[in-house]
Structure 1
C-alpha cells in the first residue's frame, strides 16, 4: 500500500468511526466487518505458504490487545449468538477474567488462557469480527506454535511472512491513526476485560466517543507509542 492509499484508508476508517458515533454502539459489529473486509482483501492474496488451518487453535490461548472499537464489536456479537454459544462465551469470559485478574501482564502473556470465543470444536465463534491482532498473527511453521504453547517461556518466535506481516501492520496503523483523527479512544485493552466491560457498562461508549479511556477499570492497557506486539509472546 503506497502513501496515497494509506491516507485514503485512514480517511475511510475515520468516516466509519464517525458514523458509528452517530448511530450508536449497537452498530459496532457492522463497522468492524466493513473495516476488516478491506484488510482481508489485501492480506488474503498473501496468505499462501502459511501453516494456519481451520481448527488449529494454539494462538487462541495468547494474550491479546484490542481497540475499544473491536471490543464493542465483540460485545455486540455475544448478544447475537445462539443461546448455547452465548452461554459458553459468557461463562468463559468470567472464568478468564477471574483467572487473569491476579496476574501481572508478564504472567498473563506467558500463561495459556483459552479465548472466550474459541468453540469446543476449536473454531473461532467471532471469526467475522476477530480483532486485528488475531488477523495479523500467523505462522509459516506450526511447530513453533506447538513449542510456545507447550513451553510458554520458550524463546522461539513464530516465523512469519514479511509481506503479509507488513500489509497487516499497515492496516493496524491506519486503524490507529483513524481513531486519533476521529478524536476517539485510541488505546488498546486486554481482550477479556475490555469485552466484559463493554457489555456491562453503558458509559463505556460515551467515554470512547469523547476520547477518554473507554474502559477505565481495565488495568492491562497500552498507549499508542508503547506497543511492540498486539498478540503473542515475547
Structure 2
C-alpha cells in the first residue's frame, strides 16, 4: 500500500509540475506577445506620421530629397536671391539648405509631425531666424509673394499646380520642379538625371506662352 501511495504521489508531483510549467510557459508567451505588440504600436506611432501620406486632396507620400537633389536645386538657384518657398517641404531639408545660402525660406507641409521636426532641425542648424514652416494645404495658400518656388510633386497634381502658379506668380519668379516636370510648360533649363532631375521654369516664359495660347484660341 505504501508503495502504491508513493507512486501516486510521484505521479501527482509530475502532473503538477507539468501544469505549473505549462502555466509559466503561457504567461511568458502572453508577456512576450504584449512586449512585441507594444513595440510595434510604439514604432508605428513614431514612424507612421513620417512615412504615411498626410490627408490631402491628392496623395503626396513623404519621400525625402536625396543629397544630389538638394545640390541640384541650389545649383539652379545659385544666382537668385530673395524669398523661397518649398511646396510640400517634408522634413525641411530644402528650406534649411536654401536658408544657409541666404534665402528667406519657407516650407508648407500638411503633416504636422514633419513640420515640428523641420522647425527643430532649423533650430539645430542655426537657421531658425531665416526659416518658417507652416502646417497648411498647398491649395489654400497663395504663392504670389515668393520669387523662387520649389516643388516636389507627383504627376497627378502637376497640371492643377501649373495652373495655380501660372496665375499667382510674378513674372520675375522661378519655379524648380523635382522628380516630375510640369506637363505643359517648356523648361528653360534642367539639371541632373533620373530621380535627381530638376527642371527650371521662368515665370516670364510660361506666362508669355499662356498669353500666346489664349490669343490663338480666340
TM-score bracket for this pair, using the shorter chain length: under 0.3
Q: Which structure shows the higher strand fraction?
A: 2
TM-score with structure 1 setting the length: 0.23
Q: Which structure shows the higher helix fraction?
A: 1
Q: Which has the higher contact order (CA 8 A, sep 6+)?
A: 1
